[in-house]
A and B are shown apart, each in its own frame.
Chain A
Amino acid sequence: MKNWKLSAGAALIASLVATSAMAAGMTVGFSQIGSESGWRAAETSVTKQEAEKRGVDLKFADAQQKQENQIKAIRSFIAQGVDAILLAPVVATGWDQVLQEAKEAEIPVVLLDRQIDAPDSLYLTAVTSDQVHEGKVAGDWLVKEVGDKECNVVELQGTTGSSPAINRKKGFEEALAGHDNIKITRSQTGDFTRTKGKEVMESFIKAEGGGKNICALYAHNDDMAVGAIQAIKEAGLKPGTDIKVVSIDAVPDIFQAMANGEANATVELTPNMAGPAFDALEKFKADGTEPKKWIQTESKLYTQSDDPMKVYEEKKGLGY
């Protein structure tokens, strides 16, 4: 409430004040998957911050990676008569029944971060990133960075068969299409972990003439990149200079690496999925404006010139 008064007092544009006022007093239930990764912890804390900023009363339920807990949470939100429900679905299927119940109770449901296999009439909208686009942003950066020079890229994929691994690979390859000077020479899975990222990078370096034939590394997440950076250093090469490093997610540690000149760029998977969701809900509650069925979050590119230390300090407290 205090924040709201402050921002109102700061003479923000009138429309913003109007929507803030509208949101204030809204009760929203949030069914979160659990705390499987640092990113999800950050999503939880940003959602709480966003709710507080708007004066939304947020009811938080941690499902501990179980769908039945999420279904129970949604049913209890319906029973409590909340104004809206945010759902970060743990799996894609099996939601039809409970979403139907929410619909009958006229409670709009917004999906966060993941899509589901259900008729889209059952939810108001889904706020997610476009993983193919993330890969493309990373690829576009590399294309611009190397220009016409020959460049052999090694790729650290996410867990084989997972959708971020498939989509981030696809987007990156799309960006490289038509630039024959840039080639992906090696591609292997690092399971999204630091340990495997380091181990696989060690083998890439051995297999590519001690790293002399590698011009850039593309990692599907920052954790693998952080591991790979250590492998590059231990091989006596300079990460960020001898081998350029571009990755996705924008977790705090990669900003530290960028500040040290050891990583070059990262594409943000924003933990702020709730902000756009609240915006859509406010509009919907105010005058019944139906949002599009898919709200794409921004995939922002950060490079060494974006004051990485400052971003690191900002992100550090979010629970990554």
Chain B
Amino acid sequence: MSARLVDALKRLAPQLIALAVILALNAAVSRGFFDIQFQNGRLYGSLIDVLNRGAPVAILSIGMTLVIATRGIDLSVGAVMAICGAVGASLIAGGYSLPATLAATIGIGLICGLWNGALVALLDIQPIIATLILMVAGRGIAQLVTEGVILTFNDASFIFIGSGAALGLPMPVLIWVALGIVVALLVRSTALGLLIEAVGVNRRASSLAGVDSRSLLLAVYATSGLCAAVAGIIAAADIKGADANNAGLWLELDAILAVVIGGTSLLGGRFSIIGSLIGAMIIQSVNTGILLSGFPPEFNLIIKAAIIVVILVVQSPASRSLWTFVRPERRREPRQVERVAR
């Protein structure tokens, strides 16, 4: 077990180092970044903000990781967030109970995911196009649900999901950590993960080998829809309202980025949910760091892009081989090279 843990840490070393460097940079630009107090029954501080604000992208990245592992992509998650937020807000504002609202909202997310899955698995439409349909249409559907306004609600139990706290941590943090652990265990302690990777490497070959790739793809896209529904509920509960225009806007891109930073290949066949979650935290650390730094907002996107370019360049295969090239003495000991480079 401990050997497996060491192995996992080794594999995630680039992501963990990147996260540590970004956090150190944040501490440099903002004094008291690591200060954590206990206030109003929960931990309170910038570090907690990173965990909390990163929740939507972290949750989306869980589903996105599985989709990308099958060599697919899900562009619709941001729009599905908006739909689910709108549905949740209108139900809770309409007087339905919390369990009924949550069940209906998550059900809608699953249906959205199954729609994508059906286009990809049954009709063999390329994932980027199949999910683009819902990405475009979804925001319109969400606006139909909210009738073009920001739909507000005052139900304390629903709001609790977005801004409440339990065990000293904000609810969104608990939700993404729990969801990440459950999904990671589900795919890694069973053969499910292996089958998903098999479909990603070569769908036809895995079908011939007896993998039910259709059901698997449907399940994977449905999971992504479910994750989007959970993220949508959190986003709506956080601001006590469903904003169909802006909820989840561009978050599909952040989720894809988190997955890529996390070391999952867009070519499918290899994935790491924990890596994606760390990737989501890296992105949010950059965002929070920029906000805390006090730089003028005109620089926000440039800084973010520059940091991400650095991370991706450092992680790229080419720079790994360059690393072995500039350290020739390591080339003679291939095993050590492997350890340093990874």
Nearest-CB residue, chain B, relative to A186: B294
Q: Mark B40-52, 1 if CB is under 8 A from A, else 0.
A: 1000111001000
Q: A187-B296, A203-B49 are in contact. Are A36 and B163 (CB under 8 A)?
A: no
Return B77 CB to nearest CB of chain A, in Å.
Answer: 16
From A191, A193, A207, residue with most partner B Cβ within 10 Å? A207
**A207 B30 Cβ-Cβ under 8 A:** yes
**B292 A207 Cβ-Cβ under 8 A:** yes
Instruction: Flag whether A37 is at the interface (Cβ < 8 A).
Output: yes
**What residues of A have a CB within 8 angstroms of the CB of B300 in the complex?**
160, 189
Out of A195, A200, A223, which one reaches B235, CB within 8 Å?
A: A195
Nearest-CB residue, chain B, relative to A156: B297
In the assembled complex, the Cα of A53 lies from the Cα of B276 at a distance in Å of 58
A residues 6-20 in Cβ contact with B at 8 Å? none
Out of B39, B40, B147, B291, which one reaches A199, CB within 8 Å?
A: B291
Nearest-CB residue, chain A, relative to B163: A234
**What residues of B have a CB within 8 angstroms of the CB of A69 in the complex?**
none
**B243 A194 Cβ-Cβ under 8 A:** yes
Q: Mark A163-207, 1 if CB is under 8 A from B, else 0.
A: 000000000000000000000001111010111001110111011
**What residues of A have a CB within 8 angstroms of the CB of B246 in the complex?**
191, 193-195
Instruction: Flag whether A41 is at the interface (Cβ < 8 A).
Output: yes
Interface size on A, residues (CB 8 A): 34
In the assembled complex, the Cα of A247 lies from the Cα of B246 at a distance in Å of 20
**A35 B292 Cβ-Cβ under 8 A:** no
In the assembled complex, the Cα of A193 lies from the Cα of B238 at a distance in Å of 13
In the assembled complex, the Cα of A236 lies from the Cα of B39 at a distance in Å of 8
Return B87 CB to nearest CB of chain A, in Å.
Answer: 18
In the assembled complex, the Cα of A202 lies from the Cα of B238 at a distance in Å of 13
Q: Which of B68-76, B128-136, B148-156 contacts A (4 or more CB under 8 A)?
A: B148-156
**What residues of A have a CB within 8 angstroms of the CB of B294 in the complex?**
186, 188, 207
Return B327 CB to nearest CB of chain A, in Å.
Answer: 40
**B148 A38 Cβ-Cβ under 8 A:** yes
Nearest-CB residue, chain B, relative to A38: B149
In the assembled complex, the Cα of A238 lies from the Cα of B291 at a distance in Å of 22
Nearest-CB residue, chain B, relative to A37: B245
**B148 A234 Cβ-Cβ under 8 A:** no
**B46 A206 Cβ-Cβ under 8 A:** yes
In the assembled complex, the Cα of A12 lies from the Cα of B279 at a distance in Å of 68
**B298 A160 Cβ-Cβ under 8 A:** yes
Return A163 CB to nearest CB of chain B, in Å.
Answer: 15
**B239 A227 Cβ-Cβ under 8 A:** yes
**B49 A202 Cβ-Cβ under 8 A:** yes
A residues 140-174 in Cβ contact with B at 8 Å? 157, 160-161
Instruction: Flag whether B113 is at the interface (Cβ < 8 A).
Output: no
Out of A41, A187, A227, which one reaches B149, CB within 8 Å?
A: A41
**What residues of B have a CB within 8 angstroms of the CB of A188 in the complex?**
291, 294, 297
In the assembled complex, the Cα of A157 lies from the Cα of B298 at a distance in Å of 11
Q: A37-B245, A38-B150, A207-B30 are in contact. Are A160 and B297 (CB under 8 A)?
A: yes
In the assembled complex, the Cα of A195 lies from the Cα of B235 at a distance in Å of 8
Given A193-B246, A194-B246, A319-B147, 16 more A-B residue pairs with CB atoms under 8 Å apart are A41-B149, A157-B297, A160-B297, A187-B297, A188-B297, A199-B53, A203-B46, A203-B288, A203-B292, A206-B32, A206-B45, A206-B292, A223-B243, A230-B239, A319-B148, A320-B149
Chain A residues with a Cβ under 8 A of chain B: 35-38, 41, 157, 160-161, 186-189, 191, 193-195, 198-200, 202-204, 206-207, 223, 226-227, 230, 234-236, 253, 319-320
Chain B residues with a Cβ under 8 A of chain A: 30, 32, 39-40, 44-46, 49, 53, 143, 147-150, 152, 163, 235, 238-241, 243, 245-247, 288, 291-292, 294, 296-298, 300
